Amino acid sequence: MSTPAAPAPAPAPATAECQLIQGRPIAQRIQADLKTEIEQLRAQNVALKLVAVMVGENAGSTVYVNQQRKLADSMGIAYELMQLPGTSTEADVIQVVERLNADPAVTGVILQQPMPQQIAIRNIIEKLNPAKDAEGMHPNSLGHVLMGDAHVAPCTASAVMEILAAQGMNLYGKEVVIVGHSDIVGKPLTLMMLNKFGTTTTCHIATSQAHKLQDHLATAEVVVVAVGVARLIKGEWLRPGTVLIDVGINKVGDQIVGDADFESCKLKCAAITPVPGGVGPLTNTMLMKNLVALARAAHH
C-alpha cells in the first residue's frame, strides 16, 4: 500500500490590504466645515486676517506663502505678506510683530521659517500676542497643549491628529511610538496623543544610537515618524497591522520620499500615509483651523 501523499502546505495567508491614507480629501472636508464657521463669524462682524512675516528671500518659503494665500482666498480669509529685508535685525522683526499685535484687523500671524541666521525665531515668537498665534508655537499655546485645553496647536502635529481621527482611530490604551522629538512635531504630538490616553513613547536620535529604535517599534500599534532621514523606518521592524503616519519630507535625487521605507512598510501596515500626499496637504488647513479657533475664542 502506498503511503498517502503528504498534504499540500496551506497557502500563505494573503497579506492584508494596506490602506493608503490620502490627506487631500481629509483636508477638503475640514475646509468645508471651516468655511461654514467663517461665515458664522462674518455674520457676527468678525473678519479673519492672516499676516505672514517673511524675512529675506527663500524659495521654499515663497512656495508656502503662495499656497497659504491661495487657500486663504478660497476660504474668504484676508491674507497679507509682510516681506522684510534679509538684513533685518531681531529688533526690526519684533517691531513689526508688535505692530501686528496692536492692529485689531489682524487676527493671526505666521512667522515664516527659516529666518536669517541673525534672528532667533524663539525670541520673536515670545513677543507675539498668543491670541494671534496662528501656528500654535507660542510657549503659551504649547503650555495649553500640555494641559490638554489648547485652542491652537502646532499645525503638523494637529494634521497627524486629524488623520488619525479621520481613520476612526481611538488612541485609548494604544501603544504609540513617535519617532522625532522636535518642538514643532514630535514633542507636541506626544502630548496630544497622551491627552487621548495613548501609551506614548518618544524616540529620537539617542534611541537609534543606543540601538533601541527597533525594540520600541516592534510593539507599536501606531507609529508617527518625523525625523528627516529618508526611508529610515523599515517594514521588518514593524508589528503587523501598524498604522503608520509619515511626516518626513526628504529629497532623494529628483524624488520626494518620507522617513519610512514605503515599499517594505506597506507590507506590514494596516494603513500608511504616502509621501507626498499624506500629511503635507493638511498642514495649511490646520493653520486656517487655528485662525478660526483664535477668532472663536476671542468672540465667544
Q: Which CB sits closer to ligand NAD, 260 or 295?
A: 260
Residue 191 vs residues 142, 149, 188, 203: alpha-carbon distances, Å: 10, 11, 5, 14
Q: Which CB sits closer to ligand NAD, 84 or 226?
A: 226
Q: Which CB sits closer to ligand NAD, 114 or 143?
A: 114
State the minimum distance, in angstroms, from the CB of residue 202 to ligand NAD. Answer: 8
State the minimum distance, in angstroms, from the CB of residue 7 to ligand NAD. Answer: 46
State the minimum distance, in angstroms, from the CB of residue 160 to ligand NAD. Answer: 9
Beta-carbon contacts of residue 73 (< 8 Å; ≥ 6 apart): 79
Q: Which CB sits closer to ligand NAD, 108 or 186?
A: 186
Q: Which CB sits closer to ligand NAD, 41 or 225?
A: 225
Three-class secondary structure of residue 109 per DSSP: strand
State the minimum distance, in angstroms, from the CB of residue 224 to ligand NAD. Answer: 10
Work out the number of other CB atoms within 10 angstroms of the CB of residue 255: 10
Q: Which CB sits closer to ligand NAD, 211 or 300?
A: 211
Binding stretches for ligand NAD (CB under 6 A): 156, 179-182, 184-186, 203-205, 207-208, 213, 226-229, 232, 247-250, 279-280, 283
17 exposed, middle or buried (CB, 10 Å; 0-12, 13-18, 19+)? exposed
State the minimum distance, in angstroms, from the CB of residue 258 to ligand NAD. Answer: 8
Three-class secondary structure of residue 15 per DSSP: coil
Rounded-to-integer distance, Cα 222 and Cα 171, Å: 9
State the minimum distance, in angstroms, from the CB of residue 201 to ligand NAD. Answer: 12
Work out the number of other CB atoms within 10 angstroms of the CB of residue 244: 29
Rounded-to-integer distance, Cα 154 and Cα 142, Å: 8
Q: Which residues of 277-299 are buried (b: 16+ CB within 10 A; e: fewer)?
A: ebbbbbbbbbbbbbbbbbbeeee
